[in-house]
Structure 1
């Protein structure tokens, strides 16, 4: 028999940013608990609204299946004494099982006889197990800080007011977090404040819908998106709806009602990023842009109520946003009175890190490093230096002090206002790219150079003073910085050597630290991030390890090698050649002293070794130019032709011959062969 289960935890308003995460964790915990007890549901439906977390579990077995409990005891040889009476070990085993010795059984195995205890355990009713499963799931929720309420000792993220727990149409009687279960939930706080008696789990969402609550998170999210898009179209624009904001708004309302508002057009003179930021972060509004991407003097907010006078809601929200926009307007006006250049002195009072000095000192180091990188890339050194020197000056402006997320963006605006070169202004913003996984990369040469120089100085400096990230602690964002460096070098096709870049960064830090910091740890740390980088692309760890074992330090070159090995892996010859490489590696490891390299044609006695030597010579002539050009994939595809002569060689030739000269000649041949593959990767890892 099967039945449906429903649990709803009714609370005060839950944290909107955490609502989806709490719902997912609550649902996963219950599903795991039922699965562990052999009571998996056929379907699972999760619900999450500001005042509730709920789960409907469809077609759950009414009862656990009966189980045979079996415990193995001591061997028969140790179970009886010389007189044939039960030994202490046997009696102790019986006591631990809660039975008399006579209730134990004996079994014969290929390793002898043993005492065994068998017992049939009748499966428990699902309704008896369900409350404990729910309680365990609640206790495991990712809640940083729990709160108490009233005079009780129960703790949760918000005070709990009711708990619904049903099995089909019957209440599962229990007490969870000091609240007795029942069937009564609550509708919308204003539209339907009276209790709502849930008849069955299948009726839950429908009954709440009648009470002005859209219980399912995804349905409410889709509803908000559709309604906001429709209203934006009516206003002649497009709503900016980042996923984070959409999720947060979904977590704020039970019955979403989009409402349009306006603001004075004079505020459009302020950089639109500042206006959008305050609308999204402070007010949870959706900003609107026109077809050209320019901000419109409109916004859309999502109310949690159907008002008889929508104008009141609109006017109220307009009244709230006006002083915030006035502040942004004031900051913009005041900041423009002072150039970025004139703010450099203020950076001398801002400490980047105690041992690494101020932001001013960091900007000077970054300028030197940026000039080196620009020179190596054939770009304008003067632009790179200027961008580095001004790069952090917007941090001391009023606008960035108020809206920290606009660092770089405001730098671009102020640099343009000051008449700086267009590429310098763009670099102000692009130095922070990529900000997160999947973010866009700098589009200008100076922006790329500054983004690299900033991150490399930070990585070298922090590792140089021994403050590398530990566990989850990464206060300087070194993981993100390392991935940013790799993405810029690889995806923008910059053939720069990471070891050399870090060495130049270390030169700049030497006066500050009193000695040149070692860069090996920083280098290893950055290259280690390649594993995660390629994992996101679906490239296996063994392919990355095959390349990493050769320790190439140019990320773009590393990438070409990995892609070449990935293509080689698809060939039918790859398995055989990888195994041969491993076999060759094992043979060469046993050689004492230096490996022989010179092949004497006169000592190639067997047809198989002659054929392999000829094939190796042919491939050397063909692939060495390909290696030099970085065409690793073409080289490996050519080397795949060695499969047959390699297989024939190992079938017919004894490498470790008694004749020393013959043996060394064959070792030299294998050494030359393996050396060809090692120009790309260590295929033996595969």
Structure 2
């Protein structure tokens, strides 16, 4: 079959860097789905992009659709034809409705009955015709966080579309979209390329782009940037630490990257390192340069969208901009130190945290109370309790400093620095910084006790307050970062192996709001909603850690009030599934669970244990229960499961010797209570009925 490469280029005004990668993923998925739906085979699909273009490239696309053969079932043969074999009105009507001659109907058996079928063959259309239909659908199917309209058009896109290229081999795929007509004309780099560029053939596209000074492959641009950055840093006697987020953003800001090394006055190095890095990284997209020990050097590396012409002028411009920002930062640093951090807390009364939940000062008061509660839960010593409460009082004070007002990314960081220069305990200063952690996926976690306590209190206060007034994440909308807050609580507990009773913690946080603000949900409702919310977060964490789906579901079904306990139980079950004792535990649980599923009580009257087999099971169950209780207290869940395995022989003997569902109600309920006790023993670790059957396991055959 004849094949050819297909090119679709959507030329746009510069789109935000964060839009580019998701758009390219969508572009690939849309193209794959539409091409397959339209029966156009291909070898491979790749997408490329720069700030000014989104590119779809399909390798070895079939020149013609695959033909479509349809078989449509009609009436039964005995209805379609009379005894003489002549077609009836039913057959004639069916053939006409399907657009075939009655002589073309075929007969097929469906079980014992024969039916007539109309076989219709739809010949495939040329690829060019099909592509002209699906290209507008591909473009219109792209979605962006903040689309815009332009001119009088109803079309929405990330930024205005300025040209369209669509080629199948050397053939232009003709279609219209957003007031533009597709063609073979593209445009190169905004400054380094002059005028339109004609693409004679789809296969020549990358060659034309190279001539137009555009590196259209993001992977190639990324590699060019990183190599240049490392080379320049080494030339300046330093290094640049890996920063995937910044590198990805810079990659999507340029079409032809050229890195340059700039400098700033060494006097600025007296400022805290974060005060220098934040303007460089967050505002200017510069790579900070450090020495071998990680200390900042008075150097930075910027990436220009152009060639090496006039680099000295570009460098001077970047240095001037950075100097202005660092001068402002130095001024804020000096001015803010004039007021001790503790004296700024009162100003928080005028800062609204959430319009329905009061001021930031109100939040501080709740943090103090919640921190005191957590200190009791974790048995924090008197010295650390003082540090926790002081840190809770000062935690938000840096929000009213000049530095954080100008650079909001520095909240917590400046709280730590201003606490230190105000003479606060270093442990208090560190807790102020740590209470915002983790700030994003993969971020560092608080490691000090005061930091952990304060971070947990702050996050739960936010979660409970928002849920209580009806603010819950929906779809991709999560303006208060509630998923991140809940994940943070889980990760902090797991990393520190903290035993935190979620239900009681949520209830304590709710009480801090009661009577002070108008809440939409009652305490029990908030607890229920948030526990479900945490279950979803825990499910994701355990799955990411490599635990099997059935293990996760089994453990969560047994309870998840303590995130650390959930992880420990899941890990024990996952390991135990590979051990010889596992079959014995699963057999004992399954047999007991299946029969006692609908029985609610574990009550057993020893006087009603008439048969030696049930008396033996009762005795053994009490022995194992006592042993397991100690192991559960010590959180040795694997040992607890192993202890349960010893029930297997007596459970088997019980079922071999005793009829459970007897007519005598008292005897029946007594035996069901005994089995319920066996089943419930495992439920302290996991609901083993959730575990997926092992292929070939004799329990499930």
TM-score relative to the length of structure 2: 0.89
Which residue in the other structure is 1:21 paired with?
22
Which residue in the other structure is 1:480 paired with?
484
Q: Write the distance in 1 (CA, Å) between the matches of 2:59 and 2:350.
A: 63
Which residue in the other structure is 2:380 paired with?
378
Which residue in the other structure is 1:535 paired with?
543
Q: Write the distance in 1 (CA, Å) between the matches of 2:153 and 2:374.
A: 64
Which residue in the other structure is 2:464 paired with?
460
Q: Secondary structure at the match of 2:303?
A: strand
Which residue in the other structure is 1:415 paired with?
419
- What are the equivalent positions in structure 2 for 1:230-379 lying under 5 Å apart? 230-240=231-241, 242-376=243-377, 377-379=379-381
Q: Is the 8 A contact 1:154 1:178 kept in 2?
A: no
- Which one of the candidate residues 623, 636, 640 is aligned to 2:641? 636
Q: Is the 8 A contact 1:73 1:93 kept in 2?
A: yes
The one-character-per-residue Cα deviations of 1:421-469 (angstroms, maximum 9, x if unpaired) are: 1111011111111112222110111111100111222223333334344
Q: Write the distance in 1 (CA, Å) between the matches of 2:397 and 2:263.
A: 33
Which residue in the other structure is 1:56 paired with?
57
Q: Secondary structure at the match of 1:512?
A: coil
Structure 1 residues 672, 108: CA separation in 2 closer, same or farther (over 3 Å shift)?
Answer: closer
Q: Is the 8 A contact 2:611 2:658 kept in 1?
A: no
The unaligned stretches of length 5 or more in structure 2 are 692-701
Q: Write the distance in 2 (CA, Å) between the matches of 1:575 and 1:207.
A: 65
Is residue 498 from structure 1 mapped to residue 505 from structure 2 by the alignment? no
Is residue 402 from structure 1 mapped to residue 403 from structure 2 by the alignment? no
Q: Is the 8 A contact 2:602 2:677 kept in 1?
A: no
Shift of 1:273: 1.6
Q: Is the 8 A contact 1:579 1:684 kept in 2?
A: no
Q: Is the 8 A contact 1:394 1:400 kept in 2?
A: yes
Shift of 1:576: 6.7
Shift of 1:342: 0.9
Q: Write the distance in 2 (CA, Å) between the matches of 1:500 and 1:79.
A: 73
- Which one of the candidate residues 538, 563, 567 is aligned to 2:571? 563
- What are the equivalent positions in structure 2 for 1:139-150 lying under 5 Å apart? 139-147=140-148
Structure 1 residues 499, 602: CA separation in 2 closer, same or farther (over 3 Å shift)?
Answer: closer
The one-character-per-residue Cα deviations of 1:229-251 (angstroms, maximum 9, x if unpaired) are: 11111111222453232222212
Q: Secondary structure at the match of 2:194?
A: coil
- Which one of the candidate residues 658, 673, 679 is aligned to 1:674? 679
Structure 1 residues 236, 668: CA separation in 2 closer, same or farther (over 3 Å shift)?
Answer: same
Q: Write the distance in 2 (CA, Å) between the matches of 1:217 and 1:145.
A: 22
Q: Secondary structure at the match of 1:423?
A: helix
Q: Write the distance in 2 (CA, Å) between the matches of 1:672 and 1:648.
A: 16
Q: Write the distance in 1 (CA, Å) between the matches of 2:16 and 2:139.
A: 16
Is residue 603 from structure 1 mapped to residue 610 from structure 2 by the alignment? yes
Q: Is the 8 A contact 2:588 2:647 kept in 1?
A: no
Shift of 1:666: 4.1
Q: Secondary structure at the match of 1:529?
A: helix
Q: Write the distance in 1 (CA, Å) between the matches of 2:96 and 2:391.
A: 80
Q: Is the 8 A contact 2:153 2:178 kept in 1?
A: no
TM-score relative to the length of structure 1: 0.90
Q: Is the 8 A contact 1:600 1:665 kept in 2?
A: no
Structure 1 residues 98, 372: CA separation in 2 closer, same or farther (over 3 Å shift)?
Answer: same
Shift of 1:341: 1.0
Structure 1 residues 70, 362: CA separation in 2 closer, same or farther (over 3 Å shift)?
Answer: same
Q: Is the 8 A contact 1:131 1:176 kept in 2?
A: no
The one-character-per-residue Cα deviations of 1:341-388 (angstroms, maximum 9, x if unpaired) are: 111111111222344322112211211221222233223221111111
Once structures 1 and 2 are overlaid, which stretch shifts more, 506-515 or 485-494? Answer: 506-515
- Which one of the candidate residues 498, 506, 512 is aligned to 1:508? 512
Q: Secondary structure at the match of 1:17?
A: helix
Q: Write the distance in 2 (CA, Å) between the matches of 1:533 and 1:257.
A: 40
Shift of 1:613: 5.8
Structure 1 residues 668, 146: CA separation in 2 closer, same or farther (over 3 Å shift)?
Answer: closer
Q: Write the distance in 1 (CA, Å) between the matches of 2:510 and 2:543.
A: 30
Shift of 1:179: 3.4
Q: Write the distance in 2 (CA, Å) between the matches of 1:16 and 1:590.
A: 57
Which residue in the other structure is 2:206 paired with?
205
Q: Is the 8 A contact 2:165 2:184 kept in 1?
A: yes
Once structures 1 and 2 are overlaid, which stretch shifts more, 73-82 or 343-352? Answer: 73-82
Aligned length: 682
Q: Secondary structure at the match of 1:551?
A: coil
Q: Secondary structure at the match of 2:516?
A: helix
Q: CA RMSD in A?
A: 3.1
Q: Write the distance in 2 (CA, Å) between the matches of 1:507 and 1:305.
A: 59
Structure 1 residues 92, 15: CA separation in 2 closer, same or farther (over 3 Å shift)?
Answer: farther
Q: Is the 8 A contact 1:582 1:685 kept in 2?
A: no
Q: Secondary structure at the match of 1:244?
A: helix
Q: Is the 8 A contact 1:588 1:595 kept in 2?
A: no
Once structures 1 and 2 are overlaid, which stretch shifts more, 522-531 or 101-110? Answer: 101-110
Which residue in the other structure is 2:556 paired with?
548
Q: Write the distance in 2 (CA, Å) between the matches of 1:551 and 1:159.
A: 52
Shift of 1:99: 4.8
Is residue 623 from structure 1 mapped to residue 628 from structure 2 by the alignment? yes
Structure 1 residues 33, 523: CA separation in 2 closer, same or farther (over 3 Å shift)?
Answer: closer
The unaligned stretches of length 5 or more in structure 1 are none
Shift of 1:220: 0.6
Which residue in the other structure is 2:493 paired with?
489
Structure 1 residues 153, 347: CA separation in 2 closer, same or farther (over 3 Å shift)?
Answer: closer
Q: Write the distance in 2 (CA, Å) between the matches of 1:163 and 1:479.
A: 40
Once structures 1 and 2 are overlaid, which stretch shifts more, 182-191 or 383-392? Answer: 182-191
Shift of 1:200: 3.8
Which residue in the other structure is 2:594 paired with?
586
